[in-house]
Structure 1
């Protein structure tokens, strides 16, 4: 198994900014994970065309930024396709709580957008998946109250992030493209 890792948030931000793209690393990963969870095919570069259209008015990305998106996609595909039931979110350091909370909100908002870009039909979801999506929609509106205790809000935010991961994995389990398995050959005896 190759050693694909999520890039450092600040390095990814520098790369996206220098490419004149108005998308943060959190937004980018949220969008990609949303598209993957919504069942978009990655067997061709169609996902990149949709990504470019959504983030850059249909214009392609510079090679280094495109490679960054491919790395994030590969990492997310491996993580979502595994059995570990884990999801690593590409977020900035939690040293600055307001930026950290904003990035979580951006990630969730773009995850929801990614589901839509994948063309997922959200009308026939199970009750559990509908609840997970509704929770994400509410979480996307959350923010940090600058007048409340930051240490308490930091603890609550970590709990919210864990809930986001559970919601995303629930949605992915229902909507994501299932691996194609060859039909069993029927042998007549």
Structure 2
């Protein structure tokens, strides 16, 4: 996957400048949930699909291009057969509390985006899918305390891996498969 990597900090700056009123982790979680649930969007309209209003007077080409790249990166990661998906969170050099709080925000955004995609209890999730969503909800509702830095760091790594794998499983269950390319169709005929 060859794409421009966007950091949590870069996205945070862009969102503040654009005055979107949403945190970087929350936005990435919302986008991921929407795409994971099979929501239809393009690089041009995904903000509207997530019901985020933009102010044309504040928009700058560079910042909007960054958001377009964010959409492309997220979609590519979800569709990557090598399971390359990673939630967009502050870097490991940031304090544990900031990273953990961002993960909680990410889960809240994910559940909101999933809801906007049309996923609900009647959609018939598998037992595993239902359990994953329940666990994401528990994480999203968490108020975290930090007592033992080493133990807390280890727990965060485990929760992050659970979320990463959970997203990939939900995506496989909920999102329609990507449309085959013309070249792939031609190969099937021969």
TM-score (ref. length: structure 2) = 0.83
Residues 31-70 of structure 1: pairs in structure 2 closer than 5 A:
31-42=30-41, 45-51=44-50, 53=51, 55-56=52-53, 59=55, 62=59, 63-70=61-68
Cα gap change, 1:139/1:169 in structure 2, threshold over 3 Å: closer, same or farther? same
Match among 82, 85, 92 for residue 84 of structure 1:
82
Q: Is the 8 A contact 2:100 2:156 kept in 1?
A: yes
Distance 1:17 1:43, change over 3 A: closer
Which residue in the other structure is 1:136 paired with? Answer: 136
Is the CA contact (8 Å cut-off) linking 2:41 and 2:49 kept in structure 1? no
* Count of matched residue positions in the alignment of Structure 1 and Structure 2: 178
Question: Relative to 1, partners in 2 of residues 1:91 and 1:178: Cα closer, same or farther, differing over 3 Å?
Answer: same
Closer, same or farther: CA 117–65 of 1 in aligned 2, 3 Å: farther
Structure-2 separation of matches of 1:36 and 1:167 = 14
CA RMSD, 1 decimal: 2.2
Deviation at 1:7, TM superposition (A): 0.9
What are the superposed Cα offsets for residues 54-81 of structure 1, whole Å, 9 maximum, x if unpaired?
x33x656714333222211111111111
For the residues of structure 1 that align with 2:84 and 2:21, how far apart are their CA atoms? 28
What does residue range 118-137 of structure 1 map to in structure 2 within 5 Å? Answer: 118-123=117-122, 124-137=124-137
Q: Normalised by the size of structure 1, how large is the TM-score?
A: 0.84
CA distance in structure 1 between the aligned counterparts of 2:26 and 2:43, rounded to whole angstroms: 22
Looking at structure 2, the residues matched to 116 and 17 of structure 1 have their Cα atoms a distance apart, in angstroms, of: 25
Are the structure 2 counterparts of residues 142 and 89 from structure 1 closer, same or farther at C-alpha, using a change threshold of 3 Å? same
Q: Which runs of 5+ in 2 are unaligned?
A: 186-190
Shift of 1:32: 0.7
Secondary structure class of the residue paired with 2:121: coil
Give the deviation of 1:43 after TM superposition: 5.0
Match for residue 17 of structure 1? 16
Give 1:187's aligned residue.
none
